[in-house]
Amino acid sequence: MPQEKESNRGGRGFAGMDPAKQKEIASKGGKASHEKGTAHEFTPDEAREAGRKGGKAAHEKGTAHEFTPEEAREAGRKGGQASGRARAAAAAAQRGGTTNPASERQKEDAE
C-alpha cells in the first residue's frame, strides 16, 4: 500500500506541509517576535516601496482590483479626511490644545 503524503506538494519539512499548517506556524512565529520585540517594523518608505512592488506585480498578473470611479472618489475622500484629522491633531499637540478649535469656541460661547 503506498504511503500518503501530508500534502500533494511533495518535498519535506515546511515546504511540504499543508498551506494551512504553514500559515499557523508562521503566525505563531510572527506573534512571538512581536512579543519579544525583535519583529521587523517597516518604515514609511519601506512600506511604500513594498506596496508599490505588490501593486505592480498584481497588475502584471491581472489580479489587481480595478477601482470604479465611485470607489476611487470614496477612497480619496476617506484618505483626505484622515490626513486632515492627523494634521489637526499634530497642530493641536504643538499648541498644547484640543484637536478641534471650533468645538473650543462653542464651549466658550456656551459659558
For 41-90, write each residue's pLDDT tens digit.
Answer: 889 999 999 999 998 999 899 888 888 999 999 999 999 999 999 999 99
Nine-digit cell at 43? 518604515
Q: How far apart are CA 93 and CA 67, in angstroms?
A: 36
Q: How many domains does the chain have?
A: 1
Q: Is residue 82 part of a domain?
A: yes
Coil, helix or strand at residue 2: coil
pTM greater than the 0.85 cutoff: no
pLDDT at site 40: 85
Q: Is residue 86 part of a domain?
A: yes
Among 29, 31, 30, 4, CA closest to 18: 4
Q: What average pLDDT does this structure show over 86-99?
A: 82
Q: Is residue 30 part of a domain?
A: no
Distance of CA 51 to the CA centre of its chain: 10
- Backbone dihedral angles phi then psi of residue 5, each to the nearest 5 degrees: -90, 160
What is the extent of the structural domain holding 75? 69-94
Coil, helix or strand at residue 38: coil
Q: Is residue 62 part of a domain?
A: no
Nine-digit cell at 79? 484618505
Q: Is residue 102 part of a domain?
A: no
